[in-house]
Amino acid sequence: MYIEDLLLRIYDEIKDAEIKKINKYGEQRTLFIKASENLFSKYINDIEEILHEYKGSSEIIKMIVSEGYFLDTGIETLKIKYGIIWEIYEYTTYTLYLIRLLLIEDPNTREKWAAIYIDKNPHAAWWSEEERI
């Protein structure tokens, strides 16, 4: 079933998460999901299946992350072991979604988990006012 808001669709479909949280600022939204590292592969499939429904009305860019880190005020806090990033430009609502599915490790505790970060921007500057009409 196609739901116009991709962020809410993923929120509803992703199961077995330790944490699921939506933040709001004006019309912008973010979603954070934290779960067991064992769910990482399942979440790839879940997100890909959902995105399949958006192919006819969107541009979808998929990128593979081989490693990385979180640098917070100059301090490395977390390591990215692996990940996938999707950019979705949804043409019917002129909305940009940025989805990051990351396998993260805390270098201090060696704990690993799967994390999903989604940013929804309904006012992306990729479309001029004339193109929105």
How does pLDDT run along the chain (133 residues), one tens digit per residue? 445 799 999 999 998 999 999 999 998 999 999 999 999 999 999 999 999 999 988 999 999 999 999 999 999 999 999 999 999 999 888 899 999 999 999 999 999 999 999 999 988 888 766 665 5
Residue 26 domain-assigned (yes or no): yes
What's this model's pTM, rounded to 2 decimal places? 0.90
Q: How many residues does the chain have?
A: 133
Residue 119 domain-assigned (yes or no): yes
pLDDT of the residue at 1: 41
> What is the domain count for the chain?
1
Residue 4 domain-assigned (yes or no): no
3-state secondary structure (DSSP) of residue 32: strand
Q: What does residue 8 show for φ and ψ, rounded to 5 degrees?
A: -70, -35
Residue 56 sits in a domain of what CATH number?
3.30.2030
3-state secondary structure (DSSP) of residue 6: helix
